[in-house]
Chains A and B, each alone.
Chain A
Amino acid sequence: MTETAMGKHIVVALAGAPNVGKSTVFNLLTGLSQHVGNWPGKTVEQKTGVTHRGNLTMDIVDLPGTYSLTANSAEEQIARDYLVKENPDVVVAILNAASLERHLYLVAELIELSPRLVIALNMMDVAQQQGKKIDAKALAEALNIPVIPIAASKNQGINELLTAIEQEYRQPAGARELKHIEYGSEILKVINHVEELLDDSITAPYPKHWTAMKLLEGDTQIDKLVMGRAGVGKSSALNAYLRENESAAVTIATLRYEWVERMMAKTQEKPPLGRVSLTEKIDRAATHPISGLFVLLLVFGLIFGLVYSIGIPLQKFLEVHLVESGKTLVNTNLVSAPAWVRSLLANGIISGVGTVLTFIPILILFFAAWAFMEDVGYTARAAFVTDRFMHLLGLHGKSVLPLVLGFGCNVPAILGTRIIDSPRSRLLTIIVAPLVPCTGRMAVVTLIAAAFFGGAAIFVSIGIVIFSLIMLIITGLLMNRFVVGGEDSALLMELPLYHLPNPRIIGLVTWQNTMAFIKRAGTIILAVSLIIWLLATVPNGDINTSVLAHIGKFFEPLGKLMGFNWQVMVALFSSFIAKENTIATLGTLLGGTGAGLNAQLKTLLTPAAAVAFLVVQVLFIPCVATVAAIRQETKTWKWPLFTIAFQLVLSFSLAIIVYQVARLL
């Protein structure tokens, strides 16, 4: 808290489990003032924003979604470290009223940290629909914590929530005594004994009592911290005692759930027995191994249908009106400018970054579809249905979602792997994700196939997609077996209740993802486009004698094995900037565009070489943006370099085989 002339500044942290509508509340509170970044040193998204109330400025921090405050995952560690170390002025626990029993557990944990706490009981409307009568007043009395019923999706109760936050903040410290959970004398004895073995210097900044409980609960992060600080003698005594009392973890959790039951008994009237909720009815079809698969295919089919019927035509439109006319504009209006300036603008920036930006409509559709599925609660079902297949590849049911996103662009796919909680499955997903044929690659495939195979082009295109997915599966199996170490992870996730989508949330999520992508295009992609342009221009402005051409010629012997000359090799290399650049580069090298290109392609490649080219194009090293994303998400250069090396070998060796075999036919 800081005091300024403008009034008071306080920090409010939002805590809650996944699927309680926490981000909806956050969005309502902060609107577009929010800032999306990463938690320091973590690949977990950090959202902050500001809201005002009178002369009180509230910095709202959206903590990662957690079921508990034991560090079972990066999210939980972040959430509880934030609460302990940053000491926010007020903590708002957001609970889902429709499954209150599940979410009161987090409150049990929060109470132990004794913050200024306000409870927002979200989805009161959904609970009512299910026939659950919840007495918020009774809950507030039982807990001695303000409880504000809200319905975030309908924008109800937010004002009351803000008032409660302010009141809670304004009341003097210690005015409200939280009712702590009674753990009973037996377990208390054990906790006290652990406390005796600790001292404050060992546990700081964590409270001692709390640390003792976390040690008993088997929290590995706290364990490591304490054992590292305590002397040898002390830590071995502590270790021995903890091992002796291993069952305390279960006892503590059980007692917390008993407490939850007692709170529930005071708060909620059970709906009549035998009443099956709508969610359960839908799930009998949506999670069934067979009908669920049909539902999944139908949903994905709809998304792809949408993308291909709306997104692709829009992309083509932008290509003509943004990239092509942009180039023309530069070349006609800047005649007086030096040739290299025109070339830089037209061939460097516009064809590099501009081309990438033409894919935005497709990405927006994918992002929106993704946000929609997430908001109605379908994504968890998709993960459940596909888990049995994904498991064979060492992947996780949740892997399917980023992979599907990969059809739009591999970059959000890599970022999307954050939803996978097992580090091993996540890494495997990151490694195989670049093998999903993105729209950029499909644009090249479609054009080449159309040039060479006429009416059969559509089948060739579909064949190539299937081929690259088979390669993805084989790669997954290989990596799972030989490359990525560690234990297989088990699936364990909540399936949230279905609910009506909230257009506002879908809009915001789509907007944020799209902006992040545009920002990326403006930085990394721009930089690399310029480098390639430079290579293609230096030393004398003619691509045919440029450094790039020399590189291409150097690799021509390798190209010959696949039936490619150096121009094709250069075009392939240029796909490193962005996959669809292949076409643009070929265009530049051959000095023709559009229909002219088609004819020239036929002189450049034999049909056998064309097939080899399609193969190498879909499997070639990930584009620079994807590589950067892999680096960012794995926090090491090892995996991006590995992916580049692996796909280089994979694409060339398969293309050589395909060409050599096809030539014999």
Chain B
Amino acid sequence: MDSERTEEYLEAIYKEQTKGDPASTSFLARDLGVSQPAVTDMLKNLESKGLIDYKSSKGATLTELGVERALGVIRRHRLWERFLTDVLGMKWDKVHEVACKLEHLDVPEVEERLAVILGDTDTCPHGHAIPDNKGNIKKEKAVPLTRFQALQRVNITAIDEGDSRLLAAIEKKGLKPQVIVTIHKKNEDGSLELEAGNRKIKINADLAMALLAEPVSAGQRDTIKEETTLSKLNAGNTCVLKEYTGERNLLGRCLSLGFTPGSVVKMLENFNSGPVLVKVHDTEVALGRDLADHITVTRNENA
């Protein structure tokens, strides 16, 4: 059985390495609130148990065994969070800390019964995937809200639970997983102006970083946000570019002129024959009709 401390280390290393890089000692010291020498000692200990590969220059990565253990902790953590919200009725922004304590209770029967009582839940209240009991976990594709562009419509799929004060602030704004928002404006200080339902919400840069979202997928699109081609957009309307479907030899030119997915395109002139004139990335660009036929977009009527 691993100690609580060990499990916390495994969990932290796992989360960091899924972001792409090994967990450095300095990161772990910060994240777990201990001194760097203490981290180094612990990492050497974990390495001797065969749970991690540790290089002092780069940091720690989990071995296969380490990943298995970490996912076990994460599974218990997220199941407990669900239990706390769904069964005990706690607010989702308060459950993370409690679950941090409960996750170390490694009794297989408890874990099994939790899963049964919660039904087929596959995400925690913050929107993160719960690993199954065989150690498989769905890959998360969501990216911070800051990465999207103005006028884009996105679905908030998860919230980074690292900072409890942020969670409370997000909860207060009425934002939570599975809420669809439109980004109205991106301000220079990094704050965003959103619209959810008919509410206007302003969030600061830190909150925007903690909100993970995906572009709205086909099933969730409401009736006005239909998908069409650029050539069918009327003058004065704005759309969000989805993709270029034409021949690959023109792809490079389209991309370098700024026709990238997620870019906002405003139609300036479209007379149903001949070329169209659009505004993209702050410049007017003329496009032949054949080209405009091969660019799919998401219409944005209210913009």
Q: Which residues of A contact B (CB under 8 A)?
A: 67-68, 70, 72-73, 99-102, 105, 184-186, 188, 217-220, 246, 249-250, 253-254, 257-258, 260-261, 265-266, 269, 279-280, 283-284, 287-289, 380, 383-384, 387-388, 391, 397, 488-495
Contact = CB atoms under 8 A, between A and B. Distances in A.
Interface stretch (B67-75, B100-108, B221-229, B256-264): B256-264
B199 interface: no
A101 B281 contact: yes
B141 to A, nearest CB: 10
A388 B20 contact: no
B243 interface: yes
Interface stretch (B81-89, B160-168, B265-273): B265-273
Interface residues of B, number: 42
Contacts of B255: 68, 217, 249-250, 253
A272 B89 CA distance: 46
B274 A495 contact: no
Q: Which has the most chain A C-beta neighbours within 10 Å: B19, B256, B268, B273?
A: B256
Contact of A217 (B252, B263, B288): B252
A166 B256 CA distance: 31
B190 interface: yes
Nearest to A19: B283
A101 B280 CA distance: 9
Given A218-B248, A288-B269, A253 B286 contact: no
A226 B283 CA distance: 35
Contacts, number: 131
Interface string B240-253: 00011000111111
B29 interface: no
Contacts of A284: 269
B284 A492 contact: no
Given A185-B20, A261-B149, A494-B285, 5 more contacts: A249-B251, A254-B261, A388-B273, A494-B283, A495-B285
A391 B288 contact: yes
Secondary structure of the B contact surface, majority rule: mixed
19 contacts: A101-B281, A102-B282, A105-B258, A246-B248, A249-B251, A261-B186, A266-B188, A283-B269, A287-B268, A288-B269, A387-B286, A387-B288, A388-B274, A488-B290, A490-B290, A492-B254, A492-B285, A493-B286, A494-B285
A260 to B, nearest CB: 8
A210 to B, nearest CB: 15
Contacts of B268: 280, 283, 287
B21 interface: yes
A101 B285 CA distance: 14
Nearest to B273: A388
B170 interface: no
Ranked nearest first, the 6 interchain pairs of A and B with the lowest CB-CB distance are A185-B20, A388-B274, A68-B256, A491-B288, A253-B255, A490-B288
B277 interface: yes
Contacts of B285: 492-495
B147 interface: yes
A490 B250 contact: yes
Given A67-B256, A250-B261, A490-B290, A257 B281 contact: yes
The residue among B248, B251, B281, B287 with the most chain A CB atoms within 10 A of its own CB is B281
Contacts of A261: 149, 186
B147 A258 contact: yes
Given A186-B20, A283-B277, A380-B286, A102 B258 contact: yes
B216 interface: no
B275 interface: yes
A99 B283 contact: yes
B12 interface: no
B291 interface: yes
A492 B20 contact: no
Contact of B21 (A105, A185, A269): A185
Nearest to A258: B147
Nearest to B263: A257
A72 B253 contact: yes
Contacts of B249: 220
Nearest to A252: B255
A311 B68 CA distance: 86
Contacts of A380: 286
Contacts of A257: 258, 260, 263, 281
Given A219-B252, A269-B188, A384 B258 contact: no
Interface string B178-221: 00000000101010000000000000000000000000000000
A494 B252 CA distance: 15
B271 A492 contact: no
A250 B261 CA distance: 8
B282 A67 contact: no
A253 B260 contact: yes
A248 B287 CA distance: 24
A289 B271 contact: yes
Contacts of B149: 261
A294 to B, nearest CB: 15
A72 B20 CA distance: 32
Contacts of A250: 243-244, 251, 255, 260-261
B224 to A, nearest CB: 21
Interface in B110-131: none
Nearest to B293: A490
Contact of A70 (B252, B258, B275): B252
Contacts of B273: 388
A384 B288 CA distance: 9
B284 to A, nearest CB: 4
A184 B277 contact: no
A496 to B, nearest CB: 8
A494 B284 CA distance: 6
Contacts of B258: 102, 105, 257
Contacts of A269: 188
A287 B269 contact: yes
Nearest to B254: A492
A100 B260 CA distance: 17
A492 B283 contact: no
A450 B206 CA distance: 82
Most chain A beta-carbon contacts within 10 A, residue among B21, B258, B285? B258
A492 B288 contact: yes
A70 B256 contact: yes
A249 B256 CA distance: 10
A136 to B, nearest CB: 15
Nearest to A186: B20
A271 B60 CA distance: 48
A288 to B, nearest CB: 7
A102 B291 contact: no
B165 to A, nearest CB: 25
B146 to A, nearest CB: 9
